[in-house]
Chain A
Amino acid sequence: MSKVKVDQNAADFIYMDDIHQPTHDKNLWNARMKRDTAASGIPEWEQMRDLASQIKEHTLTHLDHYVQQFVTEATKRGVTVHFAKDDIEHNQTVYDILKSHHATKIVKSKSMLQEECDMGAFLEARGIELIETDLGERIQQLSGEMPSHIVMPAIHKTTADVAELFARTIGTDPNEDDPKQLTEAMRNNARPKFLEAHAGLTGANFAIAETGAFVVCTNEGNADLTASIPPLHIASIGIEKILPKTKDLGLFIRLLSRSALGTPATRYTSHFMGPRESGTEMHIVLTDNGRSRRLGMEDFWRSLKCIRCGACMNTCPVYRRSGGLAYGATYSGPIGIIIDPTFDESKFSELPFHSSLCGSCSEVCPVRINIAEQIGLWRQRMVNINESSKTLHYAFGAVEKVFANPKLFRLAEKAAYYGMKLTPNWLLYHKKLNAWGKHRELPEIKKETFRDWYIKNRLKK
């Protein structure tokens, strides 16, 4: 696989025009501010983050037990559970189920796992007509692009982009650029597809070992339409989605959407506990695809706690500037940086350098993943295995030593500042070497880290 040139991709987005990047930045920062307001309304917020983190770590350190329990319980409820060790097995399994039901038209709601497996292309190549029903995902499907954000897949596009796309693909009036009318057009376009579909595919946000149930969160209601009309429901679930007990959901549902978009919850929190009525079937494809291997990586296994809220992306100054497509991967932003290299160290070797190490991601993560620390450790690893380009070695070599000891993270956060400062100016400003230097002053890394700032400004309120 060829290396993702993240700096070049970022530059392409930043210098496209004067509209896309500032709008992107503004929209994501808004989400981040809404998250802060939502979190500050809940006195127990920080304690909830501790508990959610602990539940995830408990589950992951006993994952064999909980996987087994989940499978037993789901099977008791009449669900057929399949197992896939990688993307190829996942896609083949989904295809085999569809084929045995003569299902050629399918609707699907958003599933990052199915994205990760590139399932859409696999099924389409075998004659399956597949419609993304989440509006953002549909926009990305029609543009032939990957989602640029895990919660807001088309957030890098402006309303004018969508107006042009819909005019070209679903025949809306090219002058129609009102988001309400465009949403309405897609609602009307998607409806018949739900009614005709032979099967509905979903992912899952959570899977409960105690009951064999799985939970899907959406704002549009598209997962429920996907699951409530066709006679066949297939859910792709990564093994890290499992939680021990139903009551755990109380915490996770309270945290998820507040972290993601600053809303109390998603509009629909849907629980599936078995096939709908007689004559219908429910299948789960429980998928590993590198997760068990990641569990064995001492420095990185905690990334499996991720609940895919996107808060780390919304807050990240580098992500907000570069856009999600720059990362060239299913997962972008800070969470992408720490999990993408587990799929392919060479292809994603430059991702860990696409960060200012300001630490803001770790501060907002609802399950307290040490994201910034892991980014530092990945940098070090890339330098060690010689997978990062020479310029990046030079620029970030100074930070490396501080990151050698993860316990010194608070110090290390500050080291980002010194690392930048110790780097020769010519290197940072050289436009071929660093696309960020173009047209603008250096992204300033404040001596005061985000955490310092937060403690000083927020906690005293």
Chain B
Amino acid sequence: MSSLEELLAAIRQNLPAQKVDYPEIPTYEKQGANLKDKFIVNLGLSGGESYDVGSIDEAKEIMQQKLPDTRVTCSATSEWEGSKSIHDIAHPRELEDVDLGIIRAEFGVAEMGMIWLTENSLQVNSLGFLSQHLAILLDPDLITENMHTAYRKIDFQASTYGCFVMGPSATADIGAYLVRGAQGARSLTVFFLKQQI
């Protein structure tokens, strides 16, 4: 097998002589944008829904109405108690039977209607993908404007995994028809709620 030195030597032998400088990248922020409104519209584009709620109980009630058949719930945030405790999970596959996964997002991105999750908010990463449906708690003050501002917020040293999630899982691989719920969550509901300490 090759070594790093061999790879670098092959590259150096072929480097274009003319060098190109690294450019300045603006963040393209716009004055006076209502970030929460933008977030709601863009989340809607990808099939996600959102609600303003005053308490966890209110959020639970909405989920109960939306998904009356939910049996197994599992929460990665202590604010919402699920029927299955995430702390008892010994292997990520054990989340396979979860109907509703509950996660507190670390922040949202208005431009895309995305939320940012890491292993700190997921506890067990597979919760975000094996759960049939997701309920996401998001502090409306933690919405950043666009991808440029979003990447300034992330500390890559603080986690080993991070994911921007934009609505439910989707595919259009069969006949170009859009289908939601390809492999990951079938639905994604965001609740705007500050964390109570």
Q: Answer whether residue B2 sits at the interface, using C-beta atoms and an 8 A cutoff.
A: yes
Which residues of chain A have C-beta atoms less than 8 A from B8's C-beta?
64, 67-68
Flag whether A221 is at the interface (Cβ < 8 A).
yes
Asked if B20 lies at the interface with its beta carbon under 8 angstroms from chain A, I say yes
User: Are A270 and B172 in touch, CB under 8 angstroms?
Assistant: no
Residues on B with C-beta less than 8 A from A311 are: none
The answer to whether A250 touches B151, judged by C-beta atoms less than 8 angstroms apart, is yes
Residues of B within 8 A of A251 (CB): 25, 147-148
Question: B152 CB to closest chain A CB, in angstroms?
Answer: 7
Whether A30 and B176, one on each chain, are in contact in the complex, defined by CB atoms closer than 8 angstroms, is yes
With beta carbons under 8 angstroms apart, the residue of B111, B161, B182 that contacts A183 is: B182
Contact partner of A54 among B20, B93, B146, B172, CB < 8 A?
B20
Is A264's CB under 8 angstroms from B175's CB? no
Q: Taking A82-B1, A276-B125 as contacts, is the C-beta distance between A58 and B164 under 8 angstroms?
A: no
**Contact residues on B (Cβ < 8 Å of other chain), bracket:** 35 or more
A157: chain B residues at CB < 8 Å are 175
Asked if B16 CB lies within 8 Å of chain A CBs, one says yes
A158-B175 in contact (CB<8A): yes
Number of residues from A at the complex interface, CB < 8 A = 96
A287: min CB distance to chain B, Å: 9
Instruction: Contact check, A263 vs B150: say whether CB atoms are below 8 A apart.
Output: no
A44: chain B residues within 8 A (beta carbon): 26, 28
In the complex, which residues 165-197 of chain A have their Cβ closer than 8 Å to any Cβ of chain B?
Answer: 179-180, 182-184, 187, 190-191, 194-195
Asked if A164 is an interface residue, CB under 8 A from chain B, the answer is: no
The minimal Cβ–Cβ distance linking B83 to chain A, given in whole angstroms, is: 20
B181 at the interface (CB under 8 A from A): yes
Alpha-carbon distance A250/B144, docked complex (angstroms): 13
Complex alpha-carbon distance, A63 and B16, angstroms: 10
Question: For residues 138 through 197 of chain B, which have their beta carbon under 8 Å from a beta carbon of chain A?
Answer: 146-152, 154, 156-157, 159-177, 179, 181-185
Q: Are A265 and B164 in contact (CB under 8 A)?
A: yes
Interface residue? A155 (CB, 8 A): yes
Q: A119 at the A/B interface (Cβ < 8 Å)?
A: no
State which of B56-64, B99-107, B126-134 sits at the interface with chain A: B126-134
Determine the chain B residues whose CB is within 8 A of the CB of A391 once the complex forms: none
Chain A residue nearest to B158 (CB atoms) is A273
Are B11 and A85 touching (Cβ within 8 A)? no
Our pick among B16, B112, B166, B173 for the contact of A60 (Cβ within 8 Å) is B16
Q: Residue B137 at the A interface, CB < 8 A?
A: no
Task: Check B33 for interface membership: any CB of A closer than 8 A.
Answer: no
In whole angstroms, what is the CA distance A275 to B161 when docked?
A: 9
Kindly state the separation between the CA atoms of A55 and B106 in the bound complex, as whole angstroms: 29
The reply to whether the CB of A254 lies closer than 8 angstroms to some CB of chain B is yes
Whether B14 and A293, one on each chain, are in contact in the complex, defined by CB atoms closer than 8 angstroms, is yes
B94-118 CB mask vs A (1 if < 8 Å, else 0) is 0010000000000000011110000
CB contacts under 8 Å to B, within A98-157, are 133-136, 139, 152-155, 157
> Is A386 in contact with chain B by the CB < 8 A criterion?
no
Residues from chain B with a CB closer than 8 A to the CB of A349 are none
Q: B152's closest neighbor in chain A, by CB?
A: A247
Query: Is A219 touching B171 in the complex (CB atoms < 8 A)?
Result: yes
> Does A87 lie at the interface of the complex (its beta carbon under 8 Å from any beta carbon of B)?
no
Q: How far is the CB of A228 from chain B (nearest CB, A)?
A: 4
A27 interfacial by beta-carbon distance below 8 Å: yes
B54 at the interface (CB under 8 A from A): no
Complex Cα gap A286–B4 (Å): 9
Q: Is the CB of B161 within 8 A of A273?
A: yes
A residues less than 8 Å from B184 (CB atoms): 220-222, 224-225, 267-268
Is residue A51 contacting chain B, with contact meaning CB distance below 8 A?
Answer: yes
Contact at A135–B174, with CB atoms within 8 Å? yes
Interface string of A60-89 (1 = CB under 8 A from B): 111110011001000001000111110001
- As a 0/1 sequence over residues 263 to 282 of chain A, the CB contacts with chain B under 8 angstroms (1 = contact) are 11111111111111100000
Per-position binary interface string of chain A over residues 218-235, scored 1 when its CB falls under 8 Å from any chain B CB and 0 otherwise: 011110110111000000
CB <8 Å contact, B173 and A63: no
Measured CA separation A62–B6 after assembly (Å): 16
A301 sits at the interface (CB 8 A): yes
Q: Identify A85's interface contact among B10, B25, B163, B181, CB under 8 A.
A: B10
Is B7's CB under 8 angstroms from A286's CB?
yes
A-B contact pairs, 6 of them (CB 8 A): A68-B4, A84-B1, A159-B175, A224-B184, A246-B154, A254-B111
Taking Cβ atoms with an 8 Å cutoff, the residues of B that contact A are 1-4, 6-8, 10-16, 18-23, 25-28, 42, 45-46, 92-93, 96, 111-114, 119, 125-126, 128-130, 146-152, 154, 156-157, 159-177, 179, 181-185
Q: B-contacting residues of A (Cβ < 8 Å)?
A: 23, 27, 30, 44, 51, 54-55, 57-58, 60-64, 67-68, 71, 77, 81-85, 89, 92-93, 133-136, 139, 152-155, 157-159, 162, 179-180, 182-184, 187, 190-191, 194-195, 208, 211, 213, 219-222, 224-225, 227-229, 239, 244, 246-251, 253-254, 261, 263-277, 286, 288, 292-296, 298, 301
Given A83-B2, A83-B6, A298-B16, 7 extra CB contacts under 8 A: A44-B28, A63-B15, A152-B172, A221-B182, A247-B152, A250-B27, A296-B13
